[in-house]
Amino acid sequence: MIQAKQELLQALAAALHELAPEAPPPAAFESPKQAAHGDLAITVAMTLARPLKKNPREVAAALVEALRRQGAVQRWVHSLEIAGPGFVNLRLQPEAIQAVVAEVLASGARYGHKPAHGRRVMVEFVSANPTGPLHVGHGRNAALGDSICKLLQSQGWQVLREFYYNDAGVQIQTLALSTQCRLKGLKPGDPGWPEQAYNGDYIADIAADFAAKKTVHADDREFTASGDPDDLAGIAQFAVAYLRHEQDLDLRAFGVQFDHYYLESSLYTDGRVEDAVKRLIASGKTYEKDGALWLRSTDYGDDKDRVMRKSAPAGAAASEAGAYTYFVPDVAYHIAKFERGYTKVINVQGSDHHGTVARVRAGLQAANVGIPPGYPDYVLYKMITVMKGGQEVKISKRAGSYVTLRDLIEWTSRDAVRFFLISRKADTEFTFDVDLALKANDENPVFYVQYAHARICSVLAQYEGERDFVDADLSRLVAPTETTLMLKLAEFPDMLERAAADLAPHDLSFYLRDVAAAFHGYYASERFLVDDAALARARMALLSATAQVLRNALALLGVGAPESMGRDTAAPAEALA
């Protein structure tokens, strides 16, 4: 069907050029929401109506006549009809639809993928401060970021996965002080326990390993403890390395790996923060007010100017500067990204970072280093609520104040967590229902999809014919449920392209559920291991193609495609009714 659709797109482009030779609109098909409306739809008549000074149905009629003169339409289209205000619906010849089975089987794991085009993109995600275990919000970040990377790679991008973390500042000082208090025998609730200290059990674990003079290894560092409770600097370094190691373990368990780690402290030691400040001052976009340094970010669409450097502390000399605000090192960091050759950069961050978007972009424009407007791209996601046993879960013994990613994985499974956390648009609120994630029925979306794959594997295992379906007679695939399923498989390449362009991995989860629904409907209505050998062989080819598409899509979400589900995978369709 890929060939048929490409030829039809060319035919549509030619027809549109006939109608509007000076400014033809782009040729595009849509998938009708109802099968009764056809296999492909064209909506451009409504767009062309005004410039052509005709009503949309007149434009649609002219378009149909122009299409009928095209050879590809004569070859691949069974019928054309005008509907509603000016929709043109195409019903394809059966062989055009059936061709998708051979296309999927020929492409295998590459079906839907595009060849490398040489362009590079950096995706920065997770970027958790090393002050505690990864929480469920970090899990949503990891699932989104990793799936976006996989989507972009499927469309030919060369992707760098980067993890940026704050290895200095107040939070690290608090971490070190909390660990030191544990080393000295204090615990939460004791007199002298700092009010802002971290209270989770993990702090006691860090203190115990520090006292034992252990060495910790993380993906980007290692450190050996001195064991001295007065060695606050050593405690800080050990605690950071310890928690980075714990985060590494969590991410590996989640199936996520990074290509590069970037330390915030390096922006200061390498002089990048000071260089960025000098650039901003030199641009004339800063000013002094009330002892603070400000950026005229309103010149770039921000709702107000932003403080770059706080005023000097009370009692200090007028020449003494306060600390830089958070967005200043962010500006320096993104200049570094651009200078490293990444002209396309995507940041996956929580919605609480919404305010930083305008000020970082403003700073990058004001720095005048050639960075285009709108750099970088952002995917902002909302935090999630965890429900278990009908009650909201708010704390974890491990973390002390929140549910960790490790908790979710231990309560359910990696596949369930990854699928669930990607199953809604990033900027919508989401409730993770642990009980739902454990259900073995059609209410659980990941089970529903994986069960479709396992069912197919069960049927294929029972088939005793030749497993190479290259010469299968696909013309036998004429049942309505077969057509529905084949059309859904044919949508995969275009869906992938759109999802990658929109940075919308949730589209994959919706698509997977649609494919699973089409398959389960097919399973309920037709028999596969029939006496008619040619029909059975054709249906096995369609099942193999469906399993391949399910595997391809699940892989882009980092979710497995099991061949069995620990139950009778060939059970009657009523099991999912």
pLDDT in tens, the chain (577 residues): 788 999 999 999 999 999 999 889 999 998 887 777 888 999 999 889 989 999 999 999 999 999 999 999 999 999 999 999 999 999 999 999 999 999 999 999 999 999 999 999 999 999 998 888 899 999 999 999 999 999 999 999 999 999 998 887 788 999 999 999 999 999 999 999 999 899 888 999 999 999 999 999 988 889 999 999 999 999 999 999 999 999 999 999 999 999 999 999 999 999 999 999 999 999 999 999 988 999 999 999 898 999 999 886 655 444 444 688 889 999 999 999 999 999 999 999 999 888 899 999 999 999 999 999 999 999 999 989 999 999 999 876 566 678 899 999 999 999 999 999 999 999 999 999 999 999 999 999 999 999 999 999 999 999 998 888 989 999 999 999 999 999 999 999 999 999 999 999 999 999 999 999 999 999 999 999 999 999 999 999 999 999 999 999 999 999 999 999 864 444 433 333 3
Do the beta carbons of residue 234 and residue 209 sit within 8 Å?
A: no
SS3 505: coil
Domain 270-380: assigned CATH number? 3.40.50.620
Predicted TM-score (pTM) of the model is 0.89
Residues with Cβ within 8 Å of 288's Cβ and at least 6 positions away in sequence, in order, are 294
What the block records as the tokens of 427 is 């900027």
Q: What are phi and psi of 305, to 5 degrees?
A: -65, 155
pLDDT of 209 reads 97
Taking the C-alpha atoms of residue 15 and residue 18, their distance in angstroms, rounded to an integer, is 5
| Largest distance between two CA atoms of the chain | 94
Do the beta carbons of residue 8 and residue 77 sit within 8 Å?
A: yes
pLDDT of 568 reads 42
Neighbouring C-alpha atoms within 13 Å toward the C-beta of 481: 16
Return the sign of the alpha-carbon dihedral for residues 27, 30, 36, 38.
positive
Specify the domain boundaries for CATH 3.40.50.620 within the chain.
125-136+152-257+397-438, 270-380
Neighbouring C-alpha atoms within 13 Å toward the C-beta of 222: 6
E-only strand ranges, 49-139: 77-83, 87-92, 120-124
Specify the domain boundaries for CATH 1.10.730.10 within the chain.
445-576
By the 10 Å C-beta count (0-12 exposed, 13-18 middle, 19+ buried), 24 is classed as middle
Helix then strand then coil, in percent of the chain rounded to 5, is 50, 15, 35
pLDDT of 483 reads 95
What the block records as the tokens of 487 is 């059309």
Q: What are phi and psi of 122, to 5 degrees?
A: -105, 130
Do the beta carbons of residue 232 and residue 177 sit within 8 Å?
A: yes
Measured CA to CA in angstroms, residue 204 lies from 196, 197, 213, 395, 405 at distances of: 16, 12, 14, 17, 20
pLDDT of 90 reads 93
Question: What own/partner pairs with CB < 8 Å and gap ≥ 24 does 302-309 have?
Answer: 302/358, 302/359, 302/362, 303/358, 306/359, 306/362, 308/277, 308/280, 309/277
311: left (phi over 0), alpha (psi -120 to 50) or beta: beta
pLDDT in tens, 516-547: 999 999 999 999 999 999 999 999 999 999 99
Do the beta carbons of residue 528 and residue 461 sit within 8 Å?
A: no
Do the beta carbons of residue 82 and residue 61 sit within 8 Å?
A: yes
What the block records as the tokens of 72 is 């590809």
By the 10 Å C-beta count (0-12 exposed, 13-18 middle, 19+ buried), 505 is classed as buried
Structural class in CATH, domain 125-136+152-257+397-438: alpha beta
Output the 3-class SS for 425-448: CCCCCEEEEHHHHCCCCCCCHHHH
Specify the domain boundaries for CATH 3.30.1360.70 within the chain.
2-92
E-only strand ranges, 411-562: 430-433
Taking the C-alpha atoms of residue 310 and residue 320, their distance in angstroms, rounded to an integer, is 10
pLDDT of 204 reads 95
E-only strand ranges, 67-193: 77-83, 87-92, 120-124, 158-165
Domain 2-92: assigned CATH number? 3.30.1360.70
Taking the C-alpha atoms of residue 432 and residue 441, their distance in angstroms, rounded to an integer, is 17
What the block records as the tokens of 573 is 């369709």
Measured CA to CA in angstroms, residue 426 lies from 137, 386, 432, 495 at distances of: 11, 16, 14, 18
By the 10 Å C-beta count (0-12 exposed, 13-18 middle, 19+ buried), 382 is classed as middle
Structural class in CATH, domain 445-576: mainly alpha
